[in-house]
Amino acid sequence: MNIEAMIEQATSGRYLPVGSSAEADCVLGFSFGYRVEDGRITPGISNSQIADFAKKYSLPKIFQFEIADAYAEQEPVERISENRSGGYLDTYEVALQARDLMTKKGYKQAILLAHPYHIPRASAICSKAGIEHSIPPGLEVIQFDPLSAQDWTQSSAHWNAKEPGVIRRSKELGYI
């Protein structure tokens, strides 16, 4: 997908479902914002909705920590919670750690879950990182969180002001 088409999808929330979930052997979830309550990070609306969406799949889960915290099932969840080099835990770093976990566990294909506005970049980064994945329909139910500590995940207007530049920068860095 070219950059302008990716930006169009990422600023409209109209992403394209890809592949078949039936071929997947794990679920990979990228968080979208978080809240800070009483000095600690909590999942917030978006991540709780991604966790709820994931419950429909009886497959092993690999989640960024905000989703893992919202996921209340008893099954084990692989949790990605910090950047290995100590920096900000961004989409690229989550994808690299997920790829390593998938390799270690012998997983071949993931069902990719993320906020619908985040899916285009998350998918492109996963593809570049060598993660085979499908993208299910229905992620439009995941909302922005007006109380997110990350202002760019509070509304489509905030997201749309930032995401085109993030996509272009990701291209420059070779992440997509």
Q: Identify whether 3 is part of a domain.
A: no
In a domain, residue 50? The reply is yes
pLDDT tens per residue across span 26-36: 999 999 999 99
Q: What is the DSSP string of 20-64?
A: -GGG-SEEEE-----EEETTEEE-HHHHHHHHHHHTT--S-EEEE
Per-residue pLDDT band for 162 (boundaries 50, 70, 90) equals: very high
Q: How many domains does the chain have?
A: 1
Dihedrals phi, psi of 42, to nearest 5 degrees? -125, 160
Cα 151–146–42 angle (5° rounding)?
Answer: 80
Instruction: For residue 1, name the pLDDT band (cuts at 50, 70, 90).
Output: confident
Tell me, yes or no, whether 111 lies in a domain.
yes
Helices 91-105, 119-129: crossing angle, 10 deg rounding: 50
Parent domain of 60: 21-172
Q: Measured between alpha carbons, how far is 20 from 155 in angstroms, rounded to an integer? A: 30
Model's pTM, two decimal places? 0.95
Quick check: is 9 in a domain? Answer: no
Residue 68 CA, distance from chain mean position = 12
Residue 12 lies in a domain: no
10 within domain boundaries: no
| Residue from 76, 78, 108, 116 nearest 94 by CA | 78
pLDDT exceeds cutoff 90 at 149: yes
Q: Find the CATH number of the domain harbouring 65.
A: 3.40.50
In a domain, 114, yes or no: yes
Please indicate, yes or no, if residue 14 is contained in any of the structural domains. Answer: no
Nearest to 52 by CA among 102, 93, 134, 44: 44
Contact 92, 175 (CB under 8 A): yes
